[in-house]
């Protein structure tokens, strides 16, 4: 018997891991995200020494991974370098030695530069005989994806022809045809949103691929190659980013001279181009979108991230964009500025962050390194000129192999036909015009200022022999003397460059830095003036004033809600129009005090009563926006009436996803009623299925997650036209319910109620982050007004919320019931990091939106709010004398807020008067001794109240009475 038990236990222990393995689809191989920038210089990042450009997201890769300080591209121009990454071969071997499309042979004469040599011919497409890196990854079981610049051949030699399952934007062109703002000209990347930024779109396509092919769900690892067109010319940016970097250059002091003549062309000496800086920052923003997606999808811990550039920064020729100093030269040049590039690798489980390697490495090394890291087995017959860096990452050393460059061309940037070999600290450059050799010892002379060839003849001979042997072995092609060469014509050309081009570049540089600069084309199409702004209103339910990070919360992180405040304005003294949800929402959605139309109570669930909710005499914000061409959607909690005539689809919203009642359970298994007609009591509304428009749907996700999902979908589907999204979360309204995914984040909170509340807030914050990320990914953040607030203060006893220093909570007319977290981001109009201490109210949201759109149908009812933009610009002094009013009809309670005072009165109680600016907790009642102030404020309130209506319907407090009066309250009519 004992023997049988032991055998059974052994069988159980054997089967448990097998069962776990069968259920766990996560791939054992790492995912790979390869990010390739175009023409980004070694010093064009904050982390590599730039004090002008700002690149926090790329810096993150460097900070969390390994940095190779002597990382090289395989060529000083793009196509050869990219081909080397794909093949593991140096350009002399794979045959693409210049950018595809460059003139060679006698066609070079058309450039009018009168050079001595005719550039060599080169391959114009990647050879199909090679097994490329993506083909090797596919063979190893990877799903492969490419987005962005390809430039390795025309149709038949596109990314999908060389191992990529999916291609978004890759074709033969080497630059962003049509520019960086939609509409662009790209047969493999459709235009969807006018003015959309290309870098952000490529990031969005990458994120879409990661979501649709999440390895944790599919079990298949992914290899995603994000190949930016940025920062290749033409350089373009938005007005906002240009202003930022123009001002930054001005603060730093603008140098009198920005260029210096090199051999063939002027070369930029300073980093102060605000257009290029904006282009760099946008690419960095796009990198951030993808990195955040890895984090949010749980992929970061098993994803290798590579970042590099295809060559050095453009300091001469093209757009003359940047300076690579202290490195000499730039794109197209034989010096370090042309070939040394950012070279970062983050390998989870191997790099811990902060590792710095000074060993020379090159673009051909990526192929064998990634195969090695993927456990796929090396292919030395393919990556002939690359070595795996895995031993180096594991703490070992690499042999001092030679690195070889072969560029038998002149190029657009002023470089010279040459071949280069580097071995150890020695770098030899062989020039084809005159056959000379230059030798530099880089450890002592990183700027390549001192040619030591004549002092080290033996080293020159040794390196030349190695270089010549390699070029002969690979069948390298060479430039040829031009029999029509005329030295006088070349001298005349160079003199014109000095006398005409150099001054022209200096003038252009100062134009870019002038406060009056305007490219005259709506900032390259980034400003779509005909389109009204998008509007997103995010409404929390019963969230405490002190439960967001921007109001000081310490135990519940809200990074995404805080992001709205950080990217725009946070309001310290922001109010809603009532201290419970229904009336507050009626005021918000109409922009009018709800008591003007009899909405003074929380409406009941009464699907057969057309009077129970927002009267048809009132227009919603959606009603006001639809005539202006808006697509509108309400998501989440409605609570403005459940009769068909009051349904969101009949109140201005094209689409609706959510529930009609005032609250709801969060877990789908509790949604057992098909509709509100099946309810038999008020709180049966918590158990109804969610509605998509008027149809009940079977939903499987946690309520907050489902609402967030639908919000992201709506934004994505409607990005090409102005849209209004009303995202009304139920969270963190009771019942307190959360999934383990969110609860597990708050094991440090001992109180179970507070812990569940925190998890609910965190779920909402995650969803808000998804919406913000989608706006970023679509490139429409700047043009979108995003508002966040709560419908009233937190009911601290009921849901463990925290109203911070404020007195009272939900239902109270003290500030704890009426003052709420409130933030708006709108980069086109609101300065980042603004803090507004002027009192504002939720009524102002509708007024601000209406004031800033082009409309042909003004509101039929007068709005009670004001446009907040003048307030934020300190241009509206009248707002400082505003009065806010509140009335609770049933409790005979009132409140009024002026700039300095807050009055609270209720029948049978002593009036309360507070100097609210000095007494935020409303502790010191100044009623005694300030009777005249109380009387004056009360008269103001009475004047306002004279315009109000009594409640038009019985509310939540009259639930029993209403049910007795309306026997037809539930059931189909």
The pLDDT, as a whole number, for residue 528 is 64
Beta sheet of 695-696, edge-to-edge order: 695-696, 691-692, 655-659, 631-637, 723-728, 534-540, 784-790, 822-825, 569-571, 834-836
Taking Cα atoms as reference points, which of 797, 119, 19, 733 lies closest to residue 407? Answer: 119
Above 60 in pLDDT, residue 23?
Answer: no
In the numeric block, the tokens 């595809």 are attached to 100
717 contact partners, CB below 8 Å, separation of at least 6? none
From residue 434, alpha-carbon distances to 244, 417, 437 in Å are: 47, 10, 9
**Whether the predicted pLDDT of 12 surpasses 60:** no
Cα dist from 53 to 49, 63, 248, 280, 288, whole Å:
9, 17, 10, 7, 15
Q: For residues 312 and 349, what is the distance between their CA atoms, to the nearest angstrom?
A: 31
Between CA 260 and CA 509 the distance in angstroms is 13
- pLDDT, tens only, 551-574: 999 999 999 999 999 999 999 999
Q: Which two tokens stand for residue 540?
A: 């929390």
**Region of poorest pLDDT, from 17-26, 33-42, 188-197:** 17-26
Which of the residues are catalytic? 581, 639
Q: What is the pLDDT, as a whole number, of residue 874?
A: 74
pLDDT (average), residues 136-144: 97
Structure confidence by residue, pLDDT tens digits, 622-646:
999 999 889 999 999 999 999 999 9
What pLDDT is stored for residue 761 in this prediction?
A: 98
Q: Quick one: average pLDDT of 79-93?
A: 98
pLDDT score at 19: 34
- Give pLDDT, residue 579: 97
The whole-angstrom distance between residue 408's C-alpha and the CA centroid of its chain comes to 41
The angle subtended at Cα 760 by Cα 754 and Cα 764, nearest 5°, is: 140
Read off φ and ψ for residue 790, nearest 5 degrees. Answer: -110, 155
Q: What is the pLDDT of residue 134?
A: 98
pLDDT of 21 reads 28
CA distance 229 to 231: 6
Query: In this predicted model, what pLDDT tens digit does every residue of 809-853 receive, in sequence order?
Result: 999 999 999 999 999 999 888 999 999 999 999 999 999 999 988
Averaged pLDDT for residues 522-544: 87
DSSP-derived letter for residue 181 is: B
pLDDT for the residue 881: 78
- What's the pLDDT at 173? 96
Q: Tens digit of pLDDT for each residue in 961-970?
A: 999 999 999 9
Cα(628)–Cα(624) distance, integer angstroms: 8
- Range 4-24 average pLDDT: 34
**Rounded Cα–Cα distance for residues 358 and 740 (Å):** 45
Question: What share of the chain has pLDDT > 70, as a percent?
Answer: 96
Position 50 scores a pLDDT of 96
Q: What is the H or E stretch that residue 57 is in? A: helix 56-64
User: How deeply is 757 buried, as exposed, middle or buried, from its count of CB atoms within 10 A (0-12, 13-18, 19+)?
Assistant: buried
Structure tokens at 965: 């009066």
Mean per-residue pLDDT over the chain, rounded: 93
CB 417 within 8 A of CB 407: yes
Q: What is the mean pLDDT of residues 728-740?
A: 98
242 DSSP 8-state letter: H
Q: For residue 278, report the phi and psi dihedrals to the nearest 5 degrees.
A: -65, -35
Which residues have C-beta within 8 Å of that of residue 339, sequence separation ≥ 6? Answer: 72, 73, 75, 76, 311, 312, 405, 420
| Helices 366-373 + 78-87 axis angle, to 10 | 30
At residue 879 the predicted structure's pLDDT band, cuts being 50, 70 and 90, is low
**pLDDT above 50: residue 412:** yes
CA–CA distance, 631 with 788 (Å, rounded to integer): 20
Residues 672-718: pLDDT tens digits? 999 999 999 999 999 999 999 999 999 999 999 999 999 999 998 89
Percent of the chain scoring above 90 in pLDDT:
88
Examine the pLDDT at 4 and tell me if it is beyond 80: no
C-alpha closest to that of 761 among 576, 540, 571 = 540
Model confidence over 902-919: pLDDT tens digits?
Answer: 999 999 899 999 999 999
Which H, E and C letters describe 613-645, residue by residue?
CCCCCCCCHHHHHHHHCCEEEEEEECCCCCCHH
- In which band, very low, low, confident or very high, does the pLDDT at 24 lie, cut at 50, 70 and 90? very low
Q: Quick one: pLDDT at residue 297? A: 87
- Position 828 scores a pLDDT of 84
pLDDT at residue 273 greater than cutoff 70: yes
735 prior amide bond cis, ω within 30: yes
Cα distances from 611 to residues 582, 623, 644, 820, in angstroms, run: 14, 19, 11, 29
The dihedrals phi and psi of 532, each to the nearest 5 degrees, come to -70, 160
The pTM of the full predicted model, rounded to 2 decimals, is: 0.72
Q: How far apart are CA 914 and CA 902, in angstroms?
A: 5
Residue-level pLDDT at 20: 34
113 secondary structure, DSSP code: -
pLDDT at residue 367 above 90? yes
In the prediction, which pLDDT does 721 show?
Answer: 80
User: Is residue 880 over pLDDT 70?
Assistant: no
What tens digit of pLDDT does each residue of 470-483 get? 999 999 999 999 99
> How large is the average pLDDT for residues 605-627?
96
């Amino acid at each position: 018997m004992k023997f049988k038990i032991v055998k059974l236990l052994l069988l159980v222990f054997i089967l448990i891991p097998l069962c776990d393995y069968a259920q766990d689809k996560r791939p054992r191989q790492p995912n790979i995200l390869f990010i390739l920038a175009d023409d980004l210089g070694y010093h064009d990042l904050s982390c590599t020494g730039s004090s002008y450009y700002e690149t926090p997201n790329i810096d993150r890769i460097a900070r969390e991974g390994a940095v190779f300080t002597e990382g090289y591209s395989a060529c000083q121009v793009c196509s050869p370098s990219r081909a080397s990454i794909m093949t593991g071969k140096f350009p002399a071997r794979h045959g693409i030695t210049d950018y595809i499309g460059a003139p060679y042979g006698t066609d070079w004469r058309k450039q009018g530069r009168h050079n001595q040599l005719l550039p060599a011919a080169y391959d114009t497409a990647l050879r199909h005989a090679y097994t490329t890196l993506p083909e090797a990854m596919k063979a190893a079981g990877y799903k492969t994806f490419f987005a962005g610049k390809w430039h390795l051949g025309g149709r038949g030699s596109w990314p999908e022809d060389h191992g990529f399952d999916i291609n978004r934007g890759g074709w033969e062109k080497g630059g962003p045809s049509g520019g960086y703002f939609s509409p662009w000209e790209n047969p493999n990347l459709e235009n969807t949103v006018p003015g959309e930024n290309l870098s952000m779109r490529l990031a969005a396509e990458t994120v879409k691929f990661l979501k649709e092919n999440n390895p944790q769900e599919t079990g298949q690892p992914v290899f995603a190659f994000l190949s930016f067109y940025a920062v290749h010319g033409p350089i373009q940016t938005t007005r906002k980013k240009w202003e930022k970097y123009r001002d930054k250059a001005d603060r730093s002091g603008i140098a009198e001279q920005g260029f210096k003549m090199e051999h063939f062309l002027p070369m930029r000496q300073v980093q102060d181009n605000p257009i290029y800086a904006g282009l760099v920052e946008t690419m960095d923003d796009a990198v951030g979108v993808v990195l955040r997606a890895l984090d949010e999808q749980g992929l970061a811990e098993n994803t290798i991230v590579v970042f590099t550039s295809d060559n050095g920064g453009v300091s001469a020729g093209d757009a003359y964009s940047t300076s690579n100093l202290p490195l000499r030269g730039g794109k197209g040049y034989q010096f370090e500025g042309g070939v040394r590039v950012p070279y970062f690798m983050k390998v989870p489980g191997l790099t811990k962050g902060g590792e710095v390697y000074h060993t020379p490495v090159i673009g051909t090394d990526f192929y064998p390194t990634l195969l090695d890291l993927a456990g796929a087995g090396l292919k030395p017959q393919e990556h002939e000129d690359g070595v795996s860096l895995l031993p180096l990452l594991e703490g070992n050393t690499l042999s001092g192999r030679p690195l070889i460059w072969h560029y038998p061309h002149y190029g657009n940037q002023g470089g010279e036909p040459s071949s280069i070999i580097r071995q150890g600290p020695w770098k030899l450059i062989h020039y084809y015009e005159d056959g000379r050799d230059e030798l530099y010892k880089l450890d002592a002379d990183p700027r390549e200022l001192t040619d030591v060839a004549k002092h080290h003849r033996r080293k020159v001979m040794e390196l030349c022999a190695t270089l010549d042997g390699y070029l002969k072995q690979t069948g390298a092609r060479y430039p040829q003397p031009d029999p029509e060469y005329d030295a006088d014509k070349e001298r005349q050309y160079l003199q014109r460059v000095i006398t005409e081009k150099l001054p022209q570049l200096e003038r252009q540089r100062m134009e870019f830095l002038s406060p009056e600069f305007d490219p005259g084309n709506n900032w390259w199409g980034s400003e779509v003036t005909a389109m009204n702004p998008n509007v997103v209103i995010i409404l929390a339910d019963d969230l405490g004033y002190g439960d967001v990070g921007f109001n000081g919360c310490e135990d519940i992180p809200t990074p995404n809600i805080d992001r709205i405040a950080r990217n725009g304005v946070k309001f310290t003294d922001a109010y809603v129009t009532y201290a419970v949800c229904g009336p507050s929402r009626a005021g918000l959605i109409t922009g009018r005090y709800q008591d003007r139309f009899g909405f003074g109570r929380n409406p009941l669930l009464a699907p057969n009563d057309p009077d129970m909710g927002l009267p048809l005499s009132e227009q919603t914000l959606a009603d006001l926006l639809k005539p202006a061409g808006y697509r509108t959607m309400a998501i989440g909690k409605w609570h403005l009436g459940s009769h068909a005539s009051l349904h969101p689809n009949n109140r201005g919203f094209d689409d609706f996803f959510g529930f009609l009642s005032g609250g709801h359970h969060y877990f789908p298994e509790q949604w057992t009623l098909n509709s509100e007609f099946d309810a038999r009591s008020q709180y049966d509304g918590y158990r109804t299925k969610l509605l998509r428009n008027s149809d009940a749907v079977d939903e499987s996700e946690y309520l907050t997650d489902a609402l967030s999902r639908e919000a992201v979908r709506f934004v994505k589907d409607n990005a090409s036209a102005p849209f209004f999204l009303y995202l009304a979360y139920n969270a963190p309204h009771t019942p307190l319910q959360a999934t383990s995914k969110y609860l597990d984040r708050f094991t440090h909170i001992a109180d179970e109620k507070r812990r569940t509340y925190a998890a609910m807030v965190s779920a909402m914050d995650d969803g808000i982050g998804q919406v913000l990320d989608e706006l970023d990914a679509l490139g429409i953040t700047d043009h979108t007004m995003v508002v966040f607030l709560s419908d009233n203060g937190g009911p601290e006893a009921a849901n463990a919320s925290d109203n911070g220093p404020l007195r009272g909570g939900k239902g109270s007319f003290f500030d704890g019931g009426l003052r709420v977290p409130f933030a708006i981001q709108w980069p086109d109009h609101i300065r980042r990091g603004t803090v507004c201490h002027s009192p504002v109210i939720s009524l102002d949201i509708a007024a601000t939106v209406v004031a800033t759109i082009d409309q042909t149908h003004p509101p039929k009812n007068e709005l009670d709010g004001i446009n907040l933009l003048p307030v934020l610009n300190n241009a509206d002094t009248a707002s400082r004398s505003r009065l806010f009013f509140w009335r609770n009809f049933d409790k005979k309670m009132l409140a009024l807020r002026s700039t300095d005072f807050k009055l609270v009165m209720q029948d049978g109680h002593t009036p309360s008067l507070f100097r609210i600016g000095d007494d935020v907790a409303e502790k010191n009642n100044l009623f005694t001794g300030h009777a005249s102030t109380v009387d004056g404020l009360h008269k103001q309130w009475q004047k306002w109240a004279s315009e109000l209506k009594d409640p038009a319907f019985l509310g939540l407090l009259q639930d029993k009475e209403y049910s007795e009066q309306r026997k037809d309250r539930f059931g189909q009519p």
